[in-house]
Chain A
Amino acid sequence: MARRSLLAIPIVLPLAFATALAQTVDPGKSLTAPKTDYALTNVRIVTAPGRVIERGTVLTRDGRVAAVGANVTIPAGVVRMDLSGHTVYPGLIDAATSVGLPSPTRALLTEADAPAGGRGGRAGGGGRGAPLGRGGASPAAPVVLPEVDAGAEAVDMFAPTDAQMKAFRSGGVTTVGLVFNGGLFPGRVGAALTGSRDNSDQFALRAAVGQQVAFGRNRDSYPGTLIGALAFVRQAFLDAQYEARVEKAFKAGAPGARPSNNPFHRALMPAAANEMQTWFVASSERELARAAAIAKELGLKSPVFVGSREGWRAIPALKESGATAVVSTNWPAVATVTGRMFTAVGMGLSGTVPDEADSTIAREVRANAGALAKAGVPVAFASYGGNSGTTFRDHIRESISAGMSFDDALRAATVTPAALLGVTAAVGTIEVGKLANFVVVSGNDLFASGNPIKHVFVEGRIY
């Protein structure tokens, strides 16, 4: 519950809150970090993309930014850090990661679900409610969540290891969007921190950020294919919209109106009514076109396309649907990019892909985020599909090398994902009242090659 109310915390922390916080700490568990407040002095401050204080001070108090500016009075009892020759940036935000989340197969792989002995494999589909067993000790085929998990909250399941958290921070990532890896309706997107002031594992920042649609399949029942999943997704949203109509009539006392109270449809109602954004997992040219078409058909506004790895090939579809592209920095392998075959097979072509064509594709893949930003599509960087953290900054650097402006890149790793995740009040810029999430590097350039991260602050705690 604490996680959900965090955004409602008043900007100026009253004493009562500090007391309440202390009360929630397990008395048997000692705090591993003192609640230190810091003054980062003589430091170049990039408060937001394009907004720079050349030499100033950032003051933290109780995990939040207490003051920022060229002339800040530093109170007593604060730890001073002279950061001459350094720059402090807002902590980076990885808009979508599955690190720390359970596999979407979770609900189907419990003891209770696997019938003893199992049965032989079967070609084609079975009926609804068929047994799930595939026999003996053979590993289960990749499967997806049952559709009824649409209400599952990623933040409730976020259980990263210390090493995973460290990996995020080592790349300057202080906030993450939590998006399941696979599934059909695997649950809802959340937002979390990659550390916390009291280190009590309360990383969650926001639940119910978005409704994830992943176009997976059910193993032994409908839908068993992508083409089935596409129809299933459309029907599910229509059902949720119908449920909303019935509920409205029910509340108005219309005779005969009775909601089904089907938990799956209820879970989808906010997204179906545009009260929550829908996050479609869509990466390739065709996946993006399909997701855009579904959003249009169902009247889903401002959809989010997680992956968007061939976004530059689908810019008209992205623009028309008003989508935000969550661009995975886990670049697609050149050999998998749509249309590569066009360079090999056709008139005057040799039957093999020329090296120049592959170099062009490799360049386009890295220039993707910049091309989208330039076309006016909101872009948020994410490590989705990759292993997170450590290489996040390196891949953003590659996007900059391929033509993306520094400010666009920084925006795609701070302000845009903060807005997308609905956590702008807490993170994304260095402003009074926001969480003290920073990245400190020597020199000016956060994304410069070989420039190590000096410090990372998450909720005012230094790492």
Chain B
Amino acid sequence: MRIMTRVVRASAIAAVAGGLMSAPASLPAQDVAIRNATIITIANGDIPNGTIVVRDGKISAVGANVTVPAGVRVIDGTGKFVMPGIIDAHSHGALEGGINEGSESVTPEVQVQVMNDAPMIYRSLAGGVTAAHLMHGSANTIGGQGRVIKMRWGASAEDLLFTGAFRIVKFALGENVTRASSTAPADERRFPMTRMGVDFTVRYWFTKAKEYDQEWAAYRAGMRSNPNAIEPRRDLRLEALSDIMKGDLKVHSHSYRGDEILMLIRVADELGFKVHTFQHVLEGYKVADEMAKHGAMASTFADMWGYKVEAYDAIPYNMALMSQRGVVVSVNSDSDERIRRLYQEAGIGVRYGNMSVNEALKMVTLNPAMQLGVDKMVGTLERGKDGDIAVFSAHPFAAEAMVEYTIVDGKVLFDRSQAATLRKAAEKEGGPGGTR
């Protein structure tokens, strides 16, 4: 078995290097099993001395008494903890061509562009992260569309995309949108410059989008009676807003304060769209009932008090309090650095607010999967789900825990025993990256 493991590893390395030689392609399919580990399924409790088998990229078996088929690479999990691959619902890494199309405040027709060879992807694997939502920035009231990716290091940008994930567009509220920190003279700043203006901007553009929908509806209704009718102009911006109202494009809104969260909920209810997930949402604990009633989820920071005026009422109990009121909560990175230790961020929910360990772990697995529309595929360790797995040296909430293996679609893409020089690459780049 030992020899075979080496052979498989060698071929995986060759495949990564091979990404250079030919048109980018996914790594070859690889079957893998982890035996004798504590398996944190998220969905069905923890299994001590359990085994999980991944075949053809999907979990084929998970349990206490599982036979590993012949020919499958086996990782000895004695003393290790296996959990679903970690999912980050809010990142700006691995993007190119701009994070913010900030020239105008409403740009839902814009879509971020994935940069497949950004080392941040491999760094994320080192933190057990297997999927992330790469978002447009928060400069605009209605920003651009993000992309949900899997961390398939070595693949083309197209092949990183997480098939089946939601289409998601970024909204933003508060200081970033109004450019509160801008020192430019007022006549050079962009509309909106106040929270009133943000409210108006949302109403104005959705009203336009409704007129646009009516124009198309009238055209379609009259097509039979009037064959000479001219097909209306397609407007990508209004089309995106229309998709939001239809539910085809999900809204993830950057937010901090309770009042702005309520404002967007009221405007959304009035105009007929849903805020799918509030991002950051540091004062979510103040308006959790209203969020739950609207059906909005929350993706927040674990502990980010006071780093800007809007964050003065941030408390580390936010995650626990929102969860208690029925809001589905995830904890996100918003940073190429924090993305490596999201499991520690989730642990803060246990310390502050007494979340159960499983509920806290959901904040970096199943809950972000629900927010990104991929919970049928990932987020728990269950038969039939994608083979996206993180293997830890100890329980992920233990201070000494390190990620030993990260597996995506059944392929071992991170193996700490073979990644001793990660640090060297990071140093050459000038450090592990920062926040945006």
> What total of A-B pairs shows CB separation below 8 Å?
191
Report Cα–Cα, A242/B154, bound state, in Å: 41
* Contact indicator B19/A124 (Cβ below 8 Å): no
* Contact indicator B236/A345 (Cβ below 8 Å): no
Contacts of A254 in B (CB 8 A): 228, 230
Report Cα–Cα, A315/B156, bound state, in Å: 12
Answer whether residue B310 sits at the interface, using C-beta atoms and an 8 A cutoff: no
Shortest distance from the beta carbon of A117 to any chain B beta carbon, whole Å: 14
Contacts of B122 in A (CB 8 A): 345-346
Answer whether residue A314 sits at the interface, using C-beta atoms and an 8 A cutoff: yes
Answer whether residue A123 sits at the interface, using C-beta atoms and an 8 A cutoff: yes
Of the residues A222, A339, A352, contact of B24 by C-beta under 8 Å: A339
* Contact indicator B425/A357 (Cβ below 8 Å): no
A-contact bits for B375-401, CB 8 A (1 contact / 0 none):
000000000000000000000000000
Report Cα–Cα, A257/B12, bound state, in Å: 61
Contacts of A245 in B (CB 8 A): 230-231
Among A92-100, A233-241, A398-406, the stretch in contact with B: A233-241
For chain A, the count of residues having a C-beta within 8 Å of the partner chain is: 61
Report Cα–Cα, A249/B144, bound state, in Å: 34
Shortest distance from the beta carbon of B23 to any chain A beta carbon, whole Å: 6
Report Cα–Cα, A357/B14, bound state, in Å: 12
Chain A residue nearest to B182 (CB atoms) is: A123
Shortest distance from the beta carbon of B120 to any chain A beta carbon, whole Å: 10
Contacts of B3 in A (CB 8 A): none
Chain B residue nearest to A248 (CB atoms) is: B230
B-contact bits for A119-132, CB 8 A (1 contact / 0 none):
11011111110100
B-contacting residues, A85-123, CB 8 Å: 119-120, 122-123
B-contacting residues, A346-367, CB 8 Å: 346-352, 357, 360-361, 364
Report Cα–Cα, A389/B179, bound state, in Å: 49
Shortest distance from the beta carbon of B201 to any chain A beta carbon, whole Å: 13
A-contact bits for B5-22, CB 8 A (1 contact / 0 none):
000010011001101110
Answer whether residue B98 sits at the interface, using C-beta atoms and an 8 A cutoff: yes
Of the residues B13, B24, B102, B114, contact of A125 by C-beta under 8 Å: B102
Among A66-74, A187-195, A224-232, A435-443, the stretch in contact with B: A224-232
Answer whether residue B119 sits at the interface, using C-beta atoms and an 8 A cutoff: yes
* Contact indicator B102/A124 (Cβ below 8 Å): yes
Contacts of B98 in A (CB 8 A): 224-228
Shortest distance from the beta carbon of B115 to any chain A beta carbon, whole Å: 7
* Contact indicator B24/A122 (Cβ below 8 Å): no
Shortest distance from the beta carbon of A142 to any chain B beta carbon, whole Å: 15
Report Cα–Cα, A242/B23, bound state, in Å: 37
* Contact indicator A343/B230 (Cβ below 8 Å): no
Answer whether residue A408 sits at the interface, using C-beta atoms and an 8 A cutoff: no
Of the residues A122, A286, A314, A339, contact of B20 by C-beta under 8 Å: A339
Contacts of B300 in A (CB 8 A): none
Chain B residue nearest to A284 (CB atoms) is: B96
Among B69-77, B103-111, B329-337, B341-349, the stretch in contact with A: B103-111
Answer whether residue B190 sits at the interface, using C-beta atoms and an 8 A cutoff: yes
Answer whether residue B418 sits at the interface, using C-beta atoms and an 8 A cutoff: yes
Query: Contacts A224-B103, A252-B228 given: A347-B9 contact, CB under 8 Å?
Result: yes
Most buried by A among B21, B97, B119: B97
Answer whether residue A340 sits at the interface, using C-beta atoms and an 8 A cutoff: yes
Shortest distance from the beta carbon of B137 to any chain A beta carbon, whole Å: 10
Query: Contacts A122-B188, A235-B109 given: A313-B24 contact, CB under 8 Å?
Result: yes
* Contact indicator B101/A341 (Cβ below 8 Å): no
Shortest distance from the beta carbon of B304 to any chain A beta carbon, whole Å: 23
Contacts of A252 in B (CB 8 A): 228
Report Cα–Cα, A357/B13, bound state, in Å: 14
B-contacting residues, A306-329, CB 8 Å: 312-316
Answer whether residue B414 sits at the interface, using C-beta atoms and an 8 A cutoff: yes
Report Cα–Cα, A1/B246, bound state, in Å: 53
Of the residues B13, B188, B425, contact of A348 by C-beta under 8 Å: B13
Shortest distance from the beta carbon of B232 to any chain A beta carbon, whole Å: 8
Report Cα–Cα, A123/B184, bound state, in Å: 8
Report Cα–Cα, A348/B8, bound state, in Å: 13
Answer whether residue A285 sits at the interface, using C-beta atoms and an 8 A cutoff: yes
Contacts of B116 in A (CB 8 A): 286, 338-339
* Contact indicator B103/A227 (Cβ below 8 Å): no
* Contact indicator B24/A226 (Cβ below 8 Å): no
Report Cα–Cα, A179/B415, bound state, in Å: 48
Of the residues A127, A231, A350, A351, contact of B110 by C-beta under 8 Å: A231
Query: Contacts A226-B113, A315-B23, A339-B19 given: A349-B233 contact, CB under 8 Å?
Result: no
Query: Contacts A228-B107, A351-B424 given: A122-B184 contact, CB under 8 Å?
Result: yes
Chain A residue nearest to B108 (CB atoms) is: A231
Answer whether residue A182 sits at the interface, using C-beta atoms and an 8 A cutoff: no
Chain A residue nearest to B417 (CB atoms) is: A347
Of the residues A222, A228, A351, contact of B421 by C-beta under 8 Å: A351
Contacts of B231 in A (CB 8 A): 242, 245
Of the residues A222, A345, A351, A361, contact of B103 by C-beta under 8 Å: A222
Answer whether residue B191 sits at the interface, using C-beta atoms and an 8 A cutoff: yes
Report Cα–Cα, A350/B189, bound state, in Å: 48
* Contact indicator B102/A352 (Cβ below 8 Å): no
Answer whether residue A432 sits at the interface, using C-beta atoms and an 8 A cutoff: no
Shortest distance from the beta carbon of A76 to any chain B beta carbon, whole Å: 60
Contacts of A48 in B (CB 8 A): none
Contacts of B230 in A (CB 8 A): 245-246, 249, 254, 257
Answer whether residue B309 sits at the interface, using C-beta atoms and an 8 A cutoff: no
* Contact indicator B117/A228 (Cβ below 8 Å): no
Of the residues A119, A227, A289, A346, contact of B157 by C-beta under 8 Å: A289
Answer whether residue B61 sits at the interface, using C-beta atoms and an 8 A cutoff: no
Answer whether residue A383 sits at the interface, using C-beta atoms and an 8 A cutoff: no
Answer whether residue A290 sits at the interface, using C-beta atoms and an 8 A cutoff: yes
Query: Contacts A234-B236, A345-B122 given: A228-B422 contact, CB under 8 Å?
Result: no
* Contact indicator B12/A347 (Cβ below 8 Å): yes
* Contact indicator B23/A347 (Cβ below 8 Å): no
Shortest distance from the beta carbon of A431 to any chain B beta carbon, whole Å: 38
- Ranked 3 nearest A-B pairs via Cβ: A225-B98, A125-B103, A226-B97
**Chain A interface residues toward B at CB < 8 A:** 119-120, 122-128, 130, 218, 220-228, 230-231, 234-235, 238-239, 242, 245-246, 249, 252, 254, 257, 285-286, 289-290, 312-316, 338-352, 357, 360-361, 364
| 5 intermolecular pairs with C-beta atoms under 8 Å apart | A228-B101, A231-B109, A235-B237, A339-B24, A347-B414
Given A286-B96, A290-B113, A339-B19, 16 more pairs with CB closer than 8 A: A124-B179, A126-B190, A223-B110, A224-B103, A225-B100, A225-B103, A235-B236, A285-B156, A339-B24, A339-B154, A347-B16, A347-B413, A348-B9, A349-B16, A351-B421, A352-B425
